[in-house]
Amino acid sequence: MPTARAISSAVLLSTAALLASSLTACAPAARDGDRRGDGGTATDEQALKAFRGQSPDWRDCPAPAPVQGGGEAPRALPDGTAWQCATLRAPLDWKKPAGESMDLALIRARSSGDAADRIGSLLFNFGGPGGSGVATLPGLAPDYDKLRARYDLVSFDPRGVGNSRAVRCSDPALPDDSEVDDTPDDGADELAALVAFNRDTAAACERNSGDVLPYVGTTQAAQDMDLIRQVLGDEKLHYFGISYGTELGGAYAHLFPERVGRAVLDGVVDPTHDRMAEALAQAGGFQRAFEHFAAWCAERGCALGADAERIVAATVALEEALDDTPLPVSDGGELDGDALIDAVSGALYRQDYWPTLRVALEAAADDDGDVLQDLAEALGQRGGDGDPDASDAPDASDAPDVSDESDGSNEEDAFRAITCDDSSDRYTAADVRDRLPEFLRASPLFGPGLAWSALSCAGWPVPGTAHRPEVSAPGAPPVLLVGNTGDPATPYEGAARMAERLGKGVGFELTFEGEGHGAYDSGNGCVREAVDAYLLDGRLPAPGAVCEAEPLPEGK
Report how far residue 69's alpha carbon sits from residue 185's, in angstroms, rounded to the nearest whole number: 33
Report which secondary-structure segment, H or E, holds 481.
Answer: strand 479-486
Neighbour count for residue 390 (Cβ, 10 Å) = 17
Neighbour count for residue 500 (Cβ, 10 Å) = 14
Per this entry, what is the length of the chain? 556
Active-site pick, 243, 345, 423, 456: 243
Report how far residue 44's alpha carbon sits from residue 56's, in angstroms, rounded to the nearest whole number: 21
SS3 content of the chain, % helix, strand, coil (to 5): 45, 15, 40
Q: Mind giving me the DSSP string for 26-42?
A: -PPPPP-S--BTTTT-S
Closest listed residue to residue 131, CA positions, set 42, 45, 67: 67
Do the beta carbons of residue 55 and residue 103 sit within 8 Å?
no
CA 381 from centre of chain: 12
Conformation bin of residue 230: beta by default, left when phi > 0, alpha when psi is -120 to 50: alpha
Report how far residue 121's alpha carbon sits from residue 88's, in angstroms, rounded to the nearest whole number: 16
Active-site pick, 517, 521, 522, 532: 517
Report how far residue 394's alpha carbon sits from residue 370's, in angstroms, rounded to the nearest whole number: 12
Is 487 marked active-site? yes
Closest listed residue to residue 89, CA positions, set 106, 67, 111: 106
Active-site pick, 224, 487, 521, 532: 487
Is 243 marked active-site? yes
**Which residues have a Cβ under 8 Å from the Cβ of 385 and sit 6 or more positions away?**
17, 18, 23, 69, 71, 378, 402, 403, 407
Is 292 marked active-site? no
Q: Known catalytic residues?
A: 243, 487, 517
